C-alpha cells in the first residue's frame, strides 16, 4: 500500500510537472498568437495603404492617358490646319509669281512703248 501511495504521489508529481509544462506552452503560444495577430493587423494596414496608393496611381494614369489622347487629337487638328494654311500660302505664292511675271511684261511693254514714242516724236521733229 505504501508503494501504491508512493506510485500515486510520483504520478501526481509527473502530472503537476506536465501541467506546468503545458501551461508554459499555452502561455508561449498565446504570446505568439498575439504577436502574429499584431503583425497581421500591421500587414492589413500596410496593404490598405498600398491599395489606396494603387488606386491613386491608377486614377493619375487614367488622367494622363486622357490628357495624352487629347493632346494627340489637338496636335492632329493643328497639323490639319497647318497643312491647309501651307496649301493657301502655296496658292498665294503661285498667284504672286504670276502677278510679278505680268508686271514684268507690262514694264517691258511700257519701256518699248516709250522708246517707240520717243522715236516717233523725233521722226516728227525731223520731218519739220
Residue 10 domain-assigned (yes or no): yes
Residue with cell 503583425: 39
Rounded Cα–Cα distance for residues 61 and 110 (Å) = 71
At CA 70, angle to CA 69 and CA 76, rounded to 5? 90
Residue 113 domain-assigned (yes or no): no
Task: Give the residue numbers spanning the domain of 24.
Answer: 1-97
For the whole model, what pTM was predicted? 0.51
Residue 50 has pLDDT above 90, yes or no: yes
Distance of CA 108 to the CA centre of its chain: 63
Residue 15 domain-assigned (yes or no): yes
- pLDDT for 128 equals 66
The sign of the dihedral angle between the CA atoms of 36, 37, 38, 44 is: positive
Residue 69 domain-assigned (yes or no): yes
pLDDT tens figures, 75-126: 999 999 999 999 999 999 999 999 999 999 998 888 887 777 777 788 778 7
Residue 43 domain-assigned (yes or no): yes
**Distance, first Cα to last Cα, the chain:** 184
Q: What's the domain count of the chain?
A: 1
Rounded Cα–Cα distance for residues 94 and 91 (Å) = 5
Residue 108 domain-assigned (yes or no): no
Amino acid at each position: 500500500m505504501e508503494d501504491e501511495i508512493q506510485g500515486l504521489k510520483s504520478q501526481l508529481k509527473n502530472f503537476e510537472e506536465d501541467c506546468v509544462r503545458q501551461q508554459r506552452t499555452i502561455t508561449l503560444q498565446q504570446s505568439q498568437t498575439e504577436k502574429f495577430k499584431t503583425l497581421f493587423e500591421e500587414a492589413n494596414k500596410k496593404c490598405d495603404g498600398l491599395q489606396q496608393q494603387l488606386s491613386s496611381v491608377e486614377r493619375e494614369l487614367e488622367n494622363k492617358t486622357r490628357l495624352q489622347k487629347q493632346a494627340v487629337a489637338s496636335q492632329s487638328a493643328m497639323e490639319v490646319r497647318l497643312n491647309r494654311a501651307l496649301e493657301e500660302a502655296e496658292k498665294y505664292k503661285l498667284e504672286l509669281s504670276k502677278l510679278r511675271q505680268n508686271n514684268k511684261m507690262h514694264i517691258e511693254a511700257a519701256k518699248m512703248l516709250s522708246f517707240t514714242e520717243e522715236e516717233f516724236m523725233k521722226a516728227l521733229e525731223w520731218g519739220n
